[in-house]
Amino acid sequence: ERASTEPPEDIFAQPLDCLPHLPICFSSFPRTKKGFLFGRNTSCDLVLSYQGVSNIHFSITFDEHNRLIIKDWNSLVGTTVAYDTDYTEARRDFQWIIRGHDVPDRKHIIVITIPSIVAFQIVVARHDMMDPAYHDKANRFKQGRASAEALLYDARLSYPPTRSGTGVHTPHQGAIYVRSSLGGDTHGFVNHLWNVSTGVETVEKVPSPLSIQRKSYHTEIWQKEAAIMSRLSHDKIVRLLACSFNPTPRLEMEYLRGGALDSYTDLAYQEVLSITSQCLSALTYMHELKPPVAHRNIKPANILVDYRIGNRIAIKLGGFGLSEQSVLETQCGTPIYLAPEISRAAMSRSPSYTVAVDIWSLGVVAYELAIGLPAF
């Protein structure tokens, strides 16, 4: 079974037209502000007479940003929503965005399930979220039918009680994320996270599956990175949002939609100047802290683009895995961007160097972005 907010428009929906379905349009005003209701109660818009289905189980409605959502109304067994092959756990008193955000808008198949009872595939027409007419229609839908009959109808939804199924398990609590890989190496992976309820996007940095399997990661190194990032508060530095180390390290950071600077090949000279200036602002802040923080791995892959509009570009500095806030004497970093004193450190009787190594690396980056580096 499936439900639809409009007759399907894209090629993915057409083969489903011959199956039993329930069209839901903007003109299908729900009788209450709860939205289009599914449940055992005979006053629901779609009555589901299955054992284990709650009185009011879930609804299709819009959130405060007029994104289409599935909302579980504190059902007994909960509800699940699957985005293509991204299956989510059951939740109760919870909501899932299914249209109106880039992530669900890219999904082809969305399935709503009352665990072990019944499932619906939902096919949603695409709408322009910038169109005022769309928001007018969504706002009217959220109001329901403003009538005395609607108020009486809403009152009838409080009974009868939910009929429990056998072997009922209480759904888990907590946020649900749809994950996608942004890349990594043998040591660590970076994943994009999308919160299905709020639409907030973040990234997480975790040890690679291989390093977890071999237990070759060093928790203290991850703890040091988190400790350094926790000290930093600057508008040109990626923010650390949360961290945990049990059972394995996990750092959650803000997500910048523009990606890493190493994927940009058409930067104008003025953009390069702006990027350099923004990086210098971040490094000046870091170097003036007490004690100072050295980045030690300045390179395009660690400079993230917040936005690029016309000839304006905004970046933030990330990649603090090699950062240090104590004695600087370890030879580390990406060879092509290394300052000479880091390269000489391994051969010197006095191997220490200063935070000025970051300025050298930034200079190499600026040169590369402006005219390119020699092929050697």
Domain of 332: which CATH number?
A: 1.10.510.10
Number of Cβ within 10 Å of residue 124's Cβ equals: 23
Question: Do 105 and 28 lie in a common domain?
Answer: yes
Shared domain check, 20 and 142: yes
Q: What is the three-class DSSP state of 309?
A: strand
335 vs 300, residue with greater confidence: 300
Tell me the pLDDT of the chain averaged across its residues: 86
Let me know whether 193 and 334 are in one domain. no
Residues in the chain: 376
Q: Per the domain annotation, does 162 fall within a domain? A: no
Q: Of 229, 254, 279, which residue sits at a domain end? A: 254
Instruction: Indicate if 273 and 237 belong to the same structural domain.
Output: no
Does residue 235 share a domain with residue 315? no
Q: How many CB atoms lie within 10 A of CB 373?
A: 12
**Burial classification of residue 69, based on how many CB atoms lie within 10 Å of its CB (0-12 exposed, 13-18 middle, 19 or more buried):** buried
pTM of the model: 0.82
Domain boundary among 194, 227, 254: 254
Q: Which residue has the higher pLDDT, 82 or 311?
A: 82
Q: What sign does the CA torsion over 188, 190, 195, 198 have?
A: positive
In this prediction, residue 235 has a pLDDT band, given cuts at 50, 70 and 90, of very high
253's CB contacts (< 8 A; 6+ apart) are: 202, 203, 204, 205, 229, 238, 239, 240, 241, 318
Question: Under a CB-based contact definition with an 8 Å cutoff, are residues 72 and 59 in contact?
Answer: no
Of 2-6, 107-111, 154-158, 316-320, which gets the smallest average pLDDT? 2-6
Reported as a pLDDT band with limits 50, 70 and 90, residue 146 is low
Mean pLDDT in residue range 246-254: 95
Domain span at 227: 180-254
Give percent of the chain above pLDDT 90.
60
Contacts 24+ apart (CB under 8 A), 86-89: 86/178, 86/179, 88/176, 88/178, 88/196, 89/171, 89/172, 89/176
Measuring CA to CA, which residue among 104, 107, 111, 32 is closest to residue 73? 32
Domain count, the chain: 3
- pLDDT on residue 151: 47
Residue of 330 and 199 predicted with greater confidence: 199
H/E stretch holding 306 reads strand 303-309
CATH of the domain at 204: 3.30.200.20
Residue 286 above 80 pLDDT?
yes
Q: What is the pLDDT of residue 111?
A: 94
What is the percent of the chain where pLDDT is above 70?
A: 85
pLDDT > 80? residue 360: yes
Report which residue type is found at 210: L
Could you tell me if 82 and 199 lie in one domain?
Answer: no
Residue 10 has pLDDT above 80, yes or no: no
Neighbours of 355 (CB within 10 A): 20
Residues with Cβ < 8 Å from 261, sequence gap 6 or more?
275, 300, 301, 303, 304, 305, 315, 369
Report pLDDT digits (tens) over 312-328. Answer: 999 999 999 888 877 67
Tokens 């930034």 belong to: 362
Residue where a domain terminates, one of 222, 254, 286: 254
pLDDT at 299 over 80: yes
pLDDT > 50? residue 215: yes
Domain contains 290: yes
The contacts of residue 27 (CB under 8 Å, 6+ apart) are none
Token code pair at residue 304: 């993230």
